[in-house]
Amino acid sequence: MAVDYDLVIIGGGSAGLVAASAGAQLNAKVALIEKEPRLGGDCLHYGCVPSKSLLHVGRVAHTVRQAETYGVMATLNDVRLGEALGHVHRAINTIQVHDSTERFESLGVEVIYGEGQFTDAQTFEVQGRQLRARAYLIATGGRPGLPSIDGLKEAGYLTNLDVFSIEARPASLVVIGAGPIGCELGQAFARLGSQVTLLASRDGILPKEDPEAARVVQAQMAAEGVKILTETRAQQVLVEGDKKVVITNTGDRLVVDEILLAAGRVPNVENLNLQAAGVEVGKPGIVVNAKLQTTNPKIYAAGDVIGGYQFTHVAGYEGAVAMQNALIFPTKKADYRVIPWATFTEPELARVGLTEEQARKRYGDDIMVLRHNFDHVDRAIAEAATDGFAKFITRKNGEILGAHIVGPAAGELIHEVVLAMSYKLKIGALKSIIHVYPTLAEINSKTALQLTKETYAANHRLQSILQKFFNFRRSLGR
């Protein structure tokens, strides 16, 4: 059967855009299908970009409130949410240019808007057209999950899909979910003046992070007035007048203006007719092998639709892997050995590799935990940003197993460790880098230096030899 395209990509988010751009620049004939009337996907319009823009506005408001601490007499008279969201949408519109239809068409990509489905294992139908390709890439992303809470749907709620379009700041807000989305937006709205209650189903926030690092973020959020209820789940939602009442498993009765749902995501697969294409779907998402092939070897999948690491940078990486396998030869495997991520609360929390607990389970006693606090970093002291620390986990031979940084600019600082781990450099490489003084990045070299200090402290024989050596030198008067 003749084919019309080398690659048909379904979904115009991070994974799809990376694959489309690279594929077209390799002179492949590529079609990109997107059901929304614009490209960019969840990250640009509903996720990373708007949330970080709103966090910036919240940080500005917080800075004004704290100004007197530094001798700057300033008063925060009002927060105009409409104007704040104007900044959010200006940021989206600026970045949108890079993801525009015109740009991709100029690269040679055929952009098709509409919702389609597979009609068989080799054909995708959209806008009444039957598209046939040598290979397909499904990159349709995910959406917020709806937990089973009695009355929630009837009462109404916000998610990241609509929270950036609200017209007025809620005076009070319950956030259901204490992962990165819930914590980031919870802190942002608290700083903008909302009374925020955060429901965490476990014994603390950010359960995928190093517990000690997560506690630093939790303490800061609590200090800013966010009420954090741990081991608490919403069981029922009632409507009383113009208020919503959230009943929890612990018996709390929370009366609020709005509910923000941030409790997990589900893959966008329902309308693709994947059964007709022979593509298997599991609970996390589409089932793929290490090469990102589905159970139909001519159909690949990447990004949030396959579950796993649901980050924009991972989706882009997976899109590149899938594109290469689909267009050239299916030989490249996705490598998740070094995947960094960050939560952009204040303080920020970033990690890569194993946690201390994971490392101990895998390597037993052959690990070293290196730590340095920001209150011993001069730039952090100068900027009054001393909460937090860096924790590096290594083997005794210096092999880096993981890193966790909680503190100012953690999302930026983690990349030195990412580089070292990617190229299999040992921790000594970070110790040897000459860092500009005073910078926050000094925390990486100071933390790495702890391995040398601890190793020396435990080596009593070496200490004895050196003591005798210097005693001898002094006896000679040299």
Lowest mean pLDDT among 6-15, 71-80, 129-138, 284-293: 71-80
Q: Write out pLDDT tens, residues 127-169.
A: 999 999 999 999 999 999 999 999 999 999 999 999 999 989 9
Please tell me the pTM assigned to this model: 0.94
Residue 91's pLDDT band (cuts 50, 70, 90): very high
Q: Which domains does the chain carry?
A: 5-144+266-327 (3.50.50.60), 152-263 (3.50.50.60), 347-460 (3.30.390.30)
The span from the CA of 19 to the CA of 322, in Å, is 8
Cα dihedral 295/299/304/309 (nearest 10):
60
Q: Write out pLDDT tens, residues 101-115.
A: 999 999 999 999 999
On the question of pLDDT at 458 being above 80, the answer is yes
Q: Write out pLDDT tens, residues 233-255.
A: 999 999 999 999 999 999 999 99
**Under a CB-based contact definition with an 8 Å cutoff, are residues 145 and 266 in contact?**
yes
**Under a CB-based contact definition with an 8 Å cutoff, are residues 309 and 317 in contact?**
no
Q: Write out pLDDT tens, residues 356-378.
A: 999 999 999 999 999 999 999 99
**CA-wise closest residue to 340 among 267, 261, 400:** 400
Q: Which SS3 state, helix, strand or coil, does residue 367 take?
A: coil
On the question of pLDDT at 1 being above 70, the answer is no
Pairing between strand 400-407 and 348-353? Answer: antiparallel
Burial class (CB in 10 A: 0-12, 13-18, 19+), 148: exposed
